[in-house]
Chain A
């Protein structure tokens, strides 16, 4: 028996086809866009109007409904970028490289949003826009890692070389993710511990954490939309000489 065992699911191989990926993402996009829109609108209205004020912070805590989803997304997006980069390195899969490249600008803006809302929330709560706290510093490092990846992509002209270098940087920077997560436990910090834990019930009342959950889902759907839009663009550019792209363009 010389037949090699096929241990990867079929869609994994199909993902390697830029054309198949382009088409499947085109089909998934509208659904995610509608979901993102509905969840973000519902979550925002709920967060601003109906969630009860917090006992100590009053209404300033409503920033949490932006701050937590953006911080979560900045980290998830980074992990996705590193994993996609690794898949590109190991299996030489072009689409994985394109996904990794598309993650970087979205993750960078999410890191900026998390840092900005954190600073704005810190001013009325801690009395300072910024402190050199472990959580804040490791989050700032995350932003610099994103900027490094983006810089590599724009500095290296050869697409395969750029993808390789960016993937290596992303993988090395992956060590920062557990540091961000556990920074509030390892170091004495001003930053409060996690709101959501997989193993415990949230310390907040449901009236407060339910809208937060809605916002988190909305942010992830929004991420899917933006990521697929960027990846589809990347596919079009890199496959511009392929006949299916020419046919697609002629139809327009």
Chain B
């Protein structure tokens, strides 16, 4: 462990703003790249289910 206290850890030797901003952006980018395709899949499947039901009704 390189830091004596939690506030030391947050401060990052005066560079806290830069370090934490970088890690925050990284987290956002990673989450977007997982959540976006997951939501997309949900929509695709529900669209397919709806279309399939419509086709089954009409036939």
Contacts and interface: CB of A to CB of B under 8 A. Distances in A.
Interface in B1-59: 1-3, 9, 12-15, 18-19, 21-23, 25-26, 29-30, 32-34, 36-38, 40-41, 44-45, 48-49, 51-52
A252 B2 contact: no
B18 A124 contact: yes
B26 A113 contact: yes
B48 A123 contact: no
B36 to A, nearest CB: 8
Contacts of A75: none
B23 A123 contact: no
Nearest to B56: A250
Interface string A226-237: 100110110011
A70 B44 contact: no
Contacts, number: 100
Given A58-B15, A249-B48, A117 B2 contact: no
B33 A237 contact: no
Given A66-B22, A67-B22, A120-B22, A59 B13 contact: yes
A58 B21 contact: no
A233 B33 contact: no
B18 A121 contact: yes
Interface in A230-252: 230, 232-233, 236-237, 240, 245-246, 249-250, 252
Q: Which of A49, A106, A237, A249 has the most CB of B within 10 A?
A: A249
B26 A229 contact: no
A67 B19 CA distance: 11
A236 B41 contact: yes
A60 B18 contact: yes
Contacts of B48: 236, 240, 245-246, 249
A162 B38 CA distance: 24
A94 to B, nearest CB: 17
B46 to A, nearest CB: 9
A251 B25 CA distance: 38
A159 B14 CA distance: 51
A116 B37 contact: no
A178 B1 CA distance: 39
Contacts of B15: 58-60, 124
Given A229-B34, A246-B48, 6 more contacts: A52-B2, A58-B13, A59-B19, A66-B26, A110-B29, A121-B22
23 contacts: A48-B9, A49-B1, A49-B3, A49-B9, A51-B2, A58-B12, A60-B13, A66-B22, A66-B23, A109-B32, A116-B22, A120-B18, A124-B15, A124-B18, A222-B30, A226-B34, A229-B38, A229-B41, A230-B40, A232-B41, A240-B48, A246-B48, A252-B49
Q: Which 5 A-B pairs have the closest CB atoms?
A: A60-B15, A229-B37, A59-B12, A59-B13, A226-B33
